[in-house]
Structure 1
Amino acid sequence: MDKTVPPGAAILLDFIRETEVGRSDRASYDVIYGHNQAKLPQPLTTMTYGEVVDAQKGWSKQFGSSAAGSYQFMRATLIDLAKAVHSISGADRFTPDLQDRLGYRLLVRRGYPEFITGKISLVQFGENLAKEWASFPVLVSCKGAHRVLKRGQSYYAGDGLNKALVRPEKVEAVLKQVLEATRRPHEPVEEQTPAVAEKTVVADPGDLAKSPGKSKTVWTWALAGLGAAVSAAGDFLGGLDWRAQLLISAATVGFAVYGIKRRADLTRAVRSLKAELEA
């Protein structure tokens, strides 16, 4: 099922697909009326939208109906949908996902939003579905397309072609399941605080809010490095070889500079995280 189709509508479309073509697997999207898909030169889902509509011209005479795909779209229906949905192109492949989106579009036309919000009754929505899909029964006695109907008959009963393929009790059960799915509260998603890499630097948390130039931590590192350098310079002639002492001094200053840079990076990271959490 295409991921853009809401959960409740997906339940209903699965049921419609199985009722209309007798199966709900991937192959159901290649079915045409009378299960004559093997007579086509190529699978329906490999054809473009335009190719399907063009091919349907002769299907009514050849097979008895132009109904195509998982939701048995009539040729007139596909032409009408292409006019109404501007994102559809004749060059689009008639894929399962596209068929699902088109099926959902038909549900919306038949009052799906009004049904799930309680603006129309289950019985009325059931009749609307029966008008769109001939295999569906009306849920109460009513005037059909050709005659007065009894509960359980196809809306098009009497045309010599269509009849209901599912009992009204089953339709009612599925529609109630759809309502439950749409009204089911979403499970809360636990908020996850972005992980901050642990630092071995010991500093006052409040110190991190200060700029690097005002930070006690930064000045401690800087003075320590400077003191080490001065101490080493004073011992050039009396201690270690002056080259060794100079190397030690340079390394100490280097560590101090590195510490200052890392402190600045950490400050920016903490401020950025704080801004994200407050947003």
Structure 2
Amino acid sequence: MDRTVPAGAALLLAFVYETETSLTPPECYEVIYGHRQDRLSKPLTRMTVDEVIAAQRNWSRRHRSSAAGAPQFIRKTLMGLKEELGLRGSQIFDANLQDRLAYHLLIRRGYHQFVNGEIDRTEFGRRLAGEWASFPVLDATRGAKRQVRRGESYYAGDGLNKQLVSPEEVEAVLDKVYALANTKAHKPEPRPQPEGKPEPVAKSKRFWTWLLTGIGAPFAALGDLHPAAQITIVVLIAGFAIYAISSMPAVRKKLGLAS
């Protein structure tokens, strides 16, 4: 599954793929309607988007359906996705592209509204049944051709499609999807960063600056000042120097003052 597809959507798409094609990855990505992929000139996942669209015209005439790939895109749907998403016709129709396009179909049908609790399971199930004919509706509703009962395909009565799974199976998967999409990913506790070794006091510029200040400044202060003023200045400068040096983490640790 393409890594850009969220876990809940990936779970649902895996169920869609197996229901639609009766196969699992990687074989499901090669399937065309009626499992006639062995008649193709080259594998589906090596064809370009434009090559698939062009070939689907013939499949519709021969097989009554143009469904291709794990999500069983019909030609109209694939052409619509190409236009809507601005796909290049030269892009390879590989597994990852099929996954991304199928996820976009889920979004169209209300995936985000469902996992956010804006629509209920029954409504989302009805929308999915409108996208994939193998899915049954989860309650009585108006289908594409007629009124359909719970458990019938949305396209019942068209002479081509029918449901391939029970409504109970769909409901069970949707419950898992909802739970998975609403489970917050466990975030590991941040690892404490190792404390760097304190710089040796003897190598600290701060230490030497204040030490020299404490020693040199008193001499600079000695001059023509009154002796009492000289003593006051010496005491003040020395006091500041002692405070600055003693406040250094390494010195406080040495003195047993660090917490």
Q: Same fold (TM over 0.5)?
A: yes
Q: What's the CA shift for 1:14?
A: 0.3
What whole-Å deviation, never above 9, does each CA across 1:54-106 have from its counterpart, x for those lacking one? 111110112221000000001110110111112x2111111101000000000
What whole-Å deviation, never above 9, does each CA across 1:225-265 have from its counterpart, x for those lacking one? xxxxxxxxxxxxxxxxxxxxxxxxxxxxxxxxxxxxxxxxx
What SS is found at the alignment partner of 2:165? coil
What SS is found at the alignment partner of 1:38? helix
What whole-Å deviation, never above 9, does each CA across 1:163-210 have from its counterpart, x for those lacking one? 0000000000000000100111211223235668x76x8614xx88xx
Hey, what does 1:61 align to over in structure 2? 61
1:13-28 → structure 2 map (5 Å cutoff) = 13-28=13-28
Gaps of 5+ in 2: 212-259
Hey, what does 2:115 align to over in structure 1? 116
Gaps of 5+ in 1: 220-279
Q: What CA distance in whole angstroms lies between the structure 1 residues aligned with 2:199 and 2:74?
A: 73
The one-letter amino acid of 1:103's match is A
Q: Does 1:133 align with 2:126?
A: no
TM-score (norm 2): 0.76
Q: What CA distance in whole angstroms lies between the structure 1 residues aligned with 2:175 and 2:169?
A: 10
Q: Does 1:203 align with 2:195?
A: no
Task: Check 1:193–1:144 CA distance in 2 against 1; reply closer, same or farther (3 A cut).
Answer: same
What SS is found at the alignment partner of 2:51? helix
1:241-260 → structure 2 map (5 Å cutoff) = none
Hey, what does 2:4 align to over in structure 1? 4
The one-letter amino acid of 2:61's match is K
What SS is found at the alignment partner of 2:53? helix
Q: What CA distance in whole angstroms lies between the structure 2 residues aligned with 1:78 and 1:216?
A: 75
Q: What CA distance in whole angstroms lies between the structure 2 residues aligned with 1:195 and 1:37?
A: 59
Sequence identity, in percent? 48
Q: Does 1:102 align with 2:105?
A: no
Task: Write out the 4+ residue segments of structure 1 that deviate beyond 2 Å after TM superposition.
Answer: 192-196, 212-217
Q: What CA distance in whole angstroms lies between the structure 1 residues aligned with 2:194 and 2:41?
A: 57
Q: What CA distance in whole angstroms lies between the structure 1 residues aligned with 2:208 and 2:17?
A: 71
The one-letter amino acid of 2:172's match is A
Hey, what does 1:84 align to over in structure 2? 84
Hey, what does 2:149 align to over in structure 1? 150
What SS is found at the alignment partner of 2:70? coil
CA RMSD of aligned residues (A): 2.2
For the Cα contact (< 8 Å) 1:36–1:63, is it kept in 2? no
Hey, what does 2:170 align to over in structure 1? 171
TM-score (norm 1): 0.71
Q: What's the CA shift for 1:216?
A: 4.0
Task: Check 1:2–1:146 CA distance in 2 against 1; reply closer, same or farther (3 A cut).
Answer: same
Q: What CA distance in whole angstroms lies between the structure 2 residues aligned with 1:195 and 1:89?
A: 51
Q: What's the CA shift for 1:214?
A: 4.1
